[in-house]
Structure 1
Amino acid sequence: MSNPSYTVLFSAGESSGDQHAAHMFQELQKQSPALRGIGMGGNKMRQVGIDIRFDSSGIGVIGLVEILKHYTEIRRALKLMKHIVASEKPDLLVCVDYKEFNLKLAQFAKRHGVKVLFYVSPQVWAWRPGRVVTYGKAIDMMAVIFPFETAYYEAENVPVRYVGHPSVDKVHPIHSKQDDMEMFGLDASRPVIGVMPGSRANEIKRMLPVMLDAVKTLAKRQADLQFVLPQADSISDEVLQEHLQGFPIPIKLIKQQAYDAIQCCDAVMTTSGTASLEIALLQVPMVIAYRLSPLSYWLGKQLVKIPFIGLPNIIAGKSIAKELIQDALTAQNLADELERLLSDAGYRHRALLELQRVKVLLGAGGGSKNMADLALEMLKQS
């Protein structure tokens, strides 16, 4: 019997969602080769054969002020996605993260009789637990990537499945550390610091200048340091060169080999988000930094119900990587923490032990395959 030809509409608004959707689609096609993927996303989804109807690389922004600046483009994307739902009636809508946008799209799809699978739960445990009910009404299934999240949905009788974190499967360097050091032209006898300013253009603008100031401070204190910057696929050369052009300290830019670059590092300065979790999985000590516009930060402070923003800290339930947020984010503070991670053996050892614990808590992986299985289960029920 031939496989039925399903059409799955994917909605991914950010770089991490683009990756998650791409990996899930690859797993789907292994089981159902005739299955077609369409939707909103970026290069990763395009590369695996999803028909991209709206390129989301320009709308992956965080913070109220930032969202308002891109509001027209975001609205245009939502209008187009709603049109696809209504006119093409896909067999399943897979909303990947990008919470508020995808909630509106899910509500619309539900009204039009399209099944909705929401992948990557909104962080209801951090923001507003009451939102569980709102999402429950708009979806057919919530796929969560942290084991502790299921309880929030089960308490409100919302269908939920723990699928595992997709990063566990994909965060693997291609080469050995020794081979990478040689390939990137790094000296194994000198410490390597990673600079990870984010995967969105507005993050680079906000985060890279202070990180570069920290690089200057560190280079003054310790002349033998080497610096690498793994360039996110969603960031153009132009965006980076605006800041790196004429920078007095050599920083090795590494493209499309982020995990190999990170494994070469002795310590990393990173923005919060998926990157911090990937660094944790690669067992490299880090300092987590973030800065929003003052208004976005103030609003966030009123809403956030948990003490941390870094995923390794949230998973561990305690501070295992120092967080430098808003006013605490200074070049001096970044440099001090990185220096401590390099020179204080006891402090470094404790950080590494905690990172091992986070890796264990995240489990064995299989997230993308579990998602594909769940999607096919839902498709067969339709």
Structure 2
Amino acid sequence: MADLTRRRIFISTGEVSGDLQGALLIEALVQRARDRHLTLEISALGGPRMAKAGAKLVGETTGIGSVGIFEALPYLVPTLRLQRVAKAALDAQPPDIAVLIDYMNPNLVMGGYIKTHHPQVPVIYYIAPQQWVWAFSENDTRKLVQCSDRMLAIFKAEADYFQRFGADTTWVGHPLVDRYPGPADQAAARQQLGLPLDTPVVTLLPASRQQEVKYLMPVLLKAAQIIQAQCPKVTFLLPVSIPALQASFEQGLAAHGLNGRVVSEGSQGAIAAADVAITKSGTANLEIALMDVPQVVAYRIHPLSARIAHYLLKFDVPYVSPVNLVVNQPIVPEFLQWQATPEAIAAAALKLLHSETARQAMRAGYAKMREALGPPGVCQRTADLILDALPEM
């Protein structure tokens, strides 16, 4: 006889940001399931945070993410290998429900496989890829909608976009609102890191992917050199999100003669301690904004990938940083590809270091952004909607 209180959930995501979002969701799912007297067995394609939260990993995906055409090539074979493993696990023990988080192309494959081979399994897409910002093809959007029984959107504009394509979409708000309910405690963070309260601190977040170590990190380190030349008392912190990148960070810091250190205890404390953060574009921008730390955003990919996107695919969006996208306003300065020069990045960071007016203007924008991200309780609302969608046994 089937155990009516034990339910199986499969979650598929990738990269460091997906691992964070997956972990937050798993914690909420376990808590809300307990309230319903349910026991969950969660299997996943994900990373160490999800495993710590209670998932059994069928594959590790945090180290195989990329942005750009040529950047993706080295990860094709590892991704296909992981998908074969995941498909075999699904076939051996089909879940009661599947949740896809971001990670567009691999999750289109997983969603399509579930729909074809296990049509009885409901598929929930949570944190859909940002087609509403930079869709190269509406065909991909239609595929996302077709492989999803329901979409749970974290941005209001995202929900509106997918609804136009006929998706059953609910706006749940952004889960980081729960993780960062208020401004960071800079004094406590500095005390924990052994930093004086009166020293200028700039935190660099150059990479969570190997490609970013190659294309972006040298630019940010050169910008840091310019800042140090004009502000000799500055201390730089480089938090590591993936242990495999630590050696590259340490070598980069030493090679550029920067006064600072690599922080291996996670990024939250290093961000909280900062007067200014200089960061790659991505989820980290929202974390920094929700912690109320001024920031400068930059990004670079392979030059040929950038030219193909710009000239052939006509890639042209007003903003890339999610902080700016949420309110469709330039809250934080963005420097992308050819505009991402050490001089431009350093000038923007120095302005924030020296100008209280500039810092306050950015924080006013952060307040507007926070309001647009929705009310607290996002992970709990999302978990309830997923558990509500479990088929009756």
Could you say whether these structures have the same fold, taking a TM-score greater than 0.5 normalized by the shorter chain as the test?
yes
1:327 and 1:297, CA in 2 relative to 1: closer, same or farther beyond 3 A?
same
Indicate the residue corresponding to 1:357 in structure 2.
368
Q: Supply the RMSD in Å over aligned alpha carbons.
A: 2.1
Name which of 59, 69, 72 aligns with 1:54: 59
**8 Å contact 1:233–1:256 — kept in the other structure?**
no
Q: 343-352 or 318-327, which moves further after superposition? A: 343-352
How far 1:299 sits from its partner (Å)?
Answer: 3.5
After superposition, what is the alpha-carbon deviation per residue over 1:71-116, rounded to whole angstroms, capped at 9, x for unaligned?
1111111222222223321111111110011011101101121221
For 1:222 and 1:305, the matched residues in 2 are separated by: 36
Q: Verify: 1:41 aligned to 2:43, yes or no.
A: no
How far 1:167 sits from its partner (Å)?
Answer: 1.1
How far 1:381 sits from its partner (Å)?
Answer: 4.7
After superposition, what is the alpha-carbon deviation per residue over 1:7-31, rounded to whole angstroms, capped at 9, x for unaligned?
1111111111111111111111123
Matches for 1:214-225 after TM superposition, within 5 Å: 214-225=223-234
How far 1:345 sits from its partner (Å)?
Answer: 3.3
**8 Å contact 1:61–1:67 — kept in the other structure?**
yes
Indicate the residue corresponding to 1:77 in structure 2.
82
Matches for 1:95-106 after TM superposition, within 5 Å: 95-106=100-111
After superposition, what is the alpha-carbon deviation per residue over 1:55-75, rounded to whole angstroms, capped at 9, x for unaligned?
113312221111112111111
**8 Å contact 1:117–1:140 — kept in the other structure?**
yes
Matches for 1:360-379 after TM superposition, within 5 Å: 360-379=371-390
Indicate the residue corresponding to 1:189 in structure 2.
198
Indicate the residue corresponding to 1:11 in structure 2.
12
1:60 and 1:149, CA in 2 relative to 1: closer, same or farther beyond 3 A?
same
Name which of 317, 337, 343 aligns with 1:332: 343
For 1:226 and 1:3, the matched residues in 2 are separated by: 56
After superposition, what is the alpha-carbon deviation per residue over 1:32-68, rounded to whole angstroms, capped at 9, x for unaligned?
2521011211110111221111111331222111111
**8 Å contact 2:184–2:292 — kept in the other structure?**
no
Indicate the residue corresponding to 1:165 in structure 2.
174
Give the partner amino acid of 2:158: E
Give the match's secondary structure for 2:131. Answer: coil
Of all paired residues, the percent bearing the same amino acid is 28
1:174 and 1:381, CA in 2 relative to 1: closer, same or farther beyond 3 A?
farther
Give the match's secondary structure for 2:95. Answer: coil
**8 Å contact 1:93–1:116 — kept in the other structure?**
yes
For 1:43 and 1:14, the matched residues in 2 are separated by: 11
**8 Å contact 1:38–1:51 — kept in the other structure?**
yes
Report the TM-score when normalising by structure 2: 0.91
Q: Verify: 1:91 aligned to 2:87, yes or no.
A: no
**8 Å contact 2:28–2:380 — kept in the other structure?**
yes
Report the TM-score when normalising by structure 1: 0.93
For 1:332 and 1:324, the matched residues in 2 are separated by: 11
Q: Return 5+ residue gaps in structure 1 as ranges.
A: none
Count of residue correspondences: 381
Q: 254-263 or 311-320, which moves further after superposition? A: 254-263
Give the match's secondary structure for 1:243. Answer: helix
